[in-house]
Amino acid sequence: MKRVLMIMMVLLLSCSVRADEAIREFVREFSVDGSSAAIILLGFERDAADVEKLIGLAVDYAKNLSSELRGGGKSDNVKAIGNAAKRVSTWTSGAYAATDIASLQDGFLADAILRYLYAGGMKNILVRINASFRGIGQSRQGPWTVQVQDEEGTFAHHALNLTVQNTGVATVTAGQYRGKTLIDPRTKQPVTLRAKGVVVVSREAALAQGVAQAIFLMGPQEGMTLFQKLPDIKGMIVDAEGNFLRSPGF
């Protein structure tokens, strides 16, 4: 923690800089318990060493947090992800299981890493854990954007580029469930897939991930109804025929 505070002080002192001072995009790809992850952020070139140290600490933090969440227990982080699962379960009338914290972990980690880096003095950050994203600020070219794609080509031909500006984004596709049986928590029965993919945008990546998974299970009709009930959450559903159904404002 002392190392983080020292780096934070150095970075905050950099706020009073010349307009022409060089800004650099820092990129770090890594893995967390087998999950593909990446951090992209903007920082001043002259602070490169401190920024790289902060990113390294954030990666270590993510790995430790992942282990903590997998271990269960009663820590504040375990309680927080549990509360997120309960919220999504309530919103979806049980289509997302309140006890399923593992399926929120990607989004929860993305949210946590962003907060860690923001506390360290970074203001323009994009974090990805698998298919969950969380961003704040902007890139050198403008607002952060992510291209939604998957191996199945679910979103092909639509050039789906989403702005991630102080929001979280999560995607779920049929390819993620290949060879698996999807069980509806409400009935405890297997369900037939009625969608090829779902994209959800929310203020937090963990919430977006949970809602996306619930809508994927619920299907297009229930999913579009849910979007109407949750005005702060937007998204899109690709139905079984490949039709793109968008919520208002998406």
State pLDDT tens for residues 163-209: 788 899 999 988 888 888 889 999 999 998 889 899 999 999 999 99
> Dihedral sign, CA of 60, 62, 66, 69?
positive
Q: CA nearest 123: which of 165, 60, 61, 65?
A: 165
- Give how far Cα 38 sits from Cα of 89, 132, 148, 168, 216, Å: 28, 11, 15, 15, 25
The residues, any chain, with a CB within 8 Å of residue 162's CB and separated by 6 or more, are 145, 146, 147, 148, 169, 199, 201
- What tokens were used for 209? 């991930």
Does the pTM surpass 0.75? The reply is: yes
Sole residue written with tokens 């159904």: 245
User: 219 falls in which pLDDT band (50, 70, 90)?
Assistant: very high
* Cα–chain center distance at 227: 18
- Reported as type and span, the H/E element at residue 119 is helix 105-119
User: 99 falls in which pLDDT band (50, 70, 90)?
Assistant: very high
pLDDT given for residue 156 in this prediction: 57
pLDDT given for residue 6 in this prediction: 38
**Rg (Cα) of the chain, in Å, rounded?**
19
CB count, 10 Å around CB of 102? 11
Instruction: Look up residue 99 and give its DSSP letter.
Output: T
Instruction: Look up residue 73 and give its DSSP letter.
Output: S
Segment 108-157, tens digit of pLDDT: 999 999 999 999 999 999 999 999 999 999 999 889 988 776 556 666 55
User: 4 falls in which pLDDT band (50, 70, 90)?
Assistant: very low
What letter represents residue 21's amino acid?
Answer: E
pLDDT given for residue 1 in this prediction: 46
User: 213 falls in which pLDDT band (50, 70, 90)?
Assistant: very high
pLDDT given for residue 158 in this prediction: 56
- Give how far Cα 96 sits from Cα of 103, 145, 156, 199, 200, Å: 10, 28, 28, 16, 14
Q: CA nearest 65: which of 100, 36, 108?
A: 108
Q: Cα–Cα distance between 20 and 118 in angstroms, integer?
A: 23
Domain boundaries, the chain: 20-246
Q: Is the pLDDT of residue 19 over 80?
A: no
pLDDT given for residue 177 in this prediction: 83
> Dihedral sign, CA of 109, 25, 146, 192?
negative
User: 9 falls in which pLDDT band (50, 70, 90)?
Assistant: very low
Query: What is the CATH number that goes with domain 20-246?
Result: 3.10.520.10
